[in-house]
Each structure stands twice: as C-alpha cells, then as structure tokens.
Amino acid sequence: MFFSKKKKINEIDMSRLPQHIGIIMDGNGRWAKKRGLPRSAGHSAGADSLKKIITEANNLGVKYITVYAFSTENWKRPKEEVDYLMSLLLDYLRNAEKTLSGENVVIRVIGSRKGLSEEICRQIIKTENFTKNNTGIVMNIALNYGGREEIVNAVKNVCKDVTDGRQNVDDIDDEVFSSYLYTENQPDVDLLIRTSGEQRLSNFMLWQVSYAEMWFTDKLWPDFKPTDLHKAIIDFQNRGRRFGGV
C-alpha cells in the first residue's frame, strides 16, 4: 500500500498542480446505509475523510480547495439530519485549532449566513480569524451555499455600486465581476472532483468551474483516500486545457 501511494505521488508533476480544487463530497448517506448505520455515521466518517484530503492537498502544495459541505437545498432534508450536520460542522470549526490549523491551513466559510444559528456564525468568525495568518492551503467550506444565489447576490451588489457611483458599467468585465463573488481574489477552479458516481454540478460554484476539468468516481466520499486525490490530479495533468483555443 505504501509503495502504491509513493508510486502515485511520483507520477504527479509538482510544477503543474491544479491551483484550485473543488470537491462535491457525495455519498455519506449511502456509505452508512450499506453498513446498516444511521446517516449521521456516514457524515462523521465523511468528516474524517475530509481532514485526510485537506492535509494531503496541503502537503502536495495545492493552494486552494473548496468543499461543498451544505447547500442551500440541503435544508429540505429531515430536520434530525440537518441538526446533526450543523452540530458536526460546529464541532469541525471548533476543533480547527487542534486539527487543520495545526496543518497551517487557512479556513474560510463561504455561503449565506441566513438560517445559520448565532453560535455557528460566531464560530465561523472565530475560526476564520484564528487561521487567517496561516500560510498553507486556503480551505473554503461552502456552507449554506448555492451557486445561483452567489451570482444573484453578486449582481445585486454590482448594481448597488453602479447606482452609488462606485462602479462604472463600462468597466465591468469577468475579473471585476469575480471580485463580487465569495471567492474574491482566488483563482477559478481547475479541477472539480465529485464522488459517489453522480455526474452533475448540483449548483456548486457555477461561475468558478466554467473551465474546470471534471473528475468523477464511483467511490463514496468516506472511502475517498489520498491515493484517489493523486489519481484525479494525474488525470488532470494528462488532459489538454485549451480554454476555447486550438
């Protein structure tokens, strides 16, 4: 197993790493069901996988990673599951100092604060402030996030700035508009990974993934290992990225 992992790492061209990786972490519930466990057990196992993947991406030298933790549509799930997810996310943020922060990770939470508890909102601020001076990978946790909502909010803010005289309509281009998104000052996603065999975006970073290379796997998220991350990166590096050119 060690040799296999080492072999995969040796196949990665460290000079051509994707700058920004997006991950749709799918399959926690199915992982639990296959084992006769409650869905909460799948989410807990998924959180363990996340730490391993963030640590590995940071060790490789990836600069940014965005993980889809909870979408604006996930509120439709049973209240018991939503409550557990929120509790798990709160604990995840609380433990950042002892876990990911120790790995020199910058933690940012992107998405709407609407509907989140005051406790979670306070912890988001605390965790972001605690890790903001770290110099390793920037980890965006997409919490209560929706790609369409992000774009609509950006349009509203652009319109407000134009109305107030802070922005000239003729100066608005892709770069300017990107500065109104949650991922301001970050590069677009180069590599998008989705687990569990599903092959759709599910309202995730619709603007930022416009030219992303997509990599799908049948593995459920709790089973996704650092070696799978290596495979995705190697496949990414073997593709030709022309951005509309020849």
Edge-to-edge order in the sheet of strand 20-24: 106-110, 138-145, 64-71, 20-24, 191-194, 213-216
Cα distances (angstroms) measured from residue 164 to each of 58, 80, 157, 159, 161:
41, 44, 10, 9, 5
Q: What is the dihedral of CA 176, 62, 105, 45, to 10 degrees?
A: 110
Can 26 be counted among the known catalytic residues? yes
The DSSP code sequence of 213-225 is EEEE-SS-GGG--
Rounded Cα distance between 200 and 70, Å, is 16
Instruction: Single out the catalytic residue among 58, 74, 164, 171.
Output: 74
Rounded Cα distance between 106 and 135, Å, is 7
Instruction: Single out the catalytic residue among 13, 26, 91, 223.
Output: 26
Can 91 be counted among the known catalytic residues? no
> Pairing mode, if any, of strands 64-71 and 191-194?
unpaired
By annotation, the residues acting in catalysis are 26, 74
